[in-house]
Amino acid sequence: MEDLSLHILDIVENSIRASAKRIEIRIEENIEKDYLTLEIEDNGQGMDEETIKRALDPFFTTKTARRVGLGLPLLYQAARESAGKLEITSEVGKKTIIRAIFQYSHPDRKPLGNIRETLLTLAVSYPEVHFVYEHKKEDTTYRWDTKEIKDKKNDRFNN
């Protein structure tokens, strides 16, 4: 994958297949401490310990249509290639958190890509899912919440 926005799209689609109805995407760029963190948290089915252990294996998948699952292994590879790491925490029936950490200044760190287009694609494709996006860079935080957008739209049409 060319950029992190495509990784986000892939991981979020996994969350949706796991019946997630709320997905939070968080990015933190800390130039001073030289790291970029990408975190995706969902309230889907979660994974048991065995699935977590196997999730980074490209030849393991829970999908029946394919014999490989490349989303998490490719994100893991991207993190490792930029002196980073990938962490998975999950509770069966509750949630999963995927956290990728990259060295910000590393020459092999993938660019963020078109986050706006990725978010709009997700919101339009999955209107039943509540998406929250938060992006922190230095002293600035940007937040985008589909529930707030829908509530404002409904208020405007109901008045």
Report the SS3 class of residue 29: strand
Going along the chain, which residue ranges are E strands?
22-30, 35-42, 85-91, 95-103, 130-137, 140-145
Bridge partner residues of 41 (DSSP): 24, 97
pLDDT tens digit sequence for 46-89: 999 999 998 888 776 665 554 444 789 999 999 999 999 999 99
pLDDT of residue 151: 76
**How confident is the prediction for the chain on average, in pLDDT?**
90
Contacts (Cβ under 8 Å, ≥6 apart) of 19? 44, 45
Residues, the chain: 159
Question: Looking at domain 4-158, what is its CATH homologous superfamily?
Answer: Histidine kinase-like ATPase, C-terminal domain (3.30.565.10)
pLDDT at 38 over 70: yes
pLDDT tens digit sequence for 104-132: 999 999 999 999 999 999 999 999 999 99
C-alpha span between 129 and 113 (Å, rounded): 23
DSSP state of 106: -
Domains of the chain, by residue range, sit at 4-158
Q: What global pTM score does this model have?
A: 0.88
Share of the chain above pLDDT 90, in %: 79
C-alpha span between 77 and 60 (Å, rounded): 15
pLDDT of residue 153: 62
C-alpha span between 117 and 74 (Å, rounded): 21
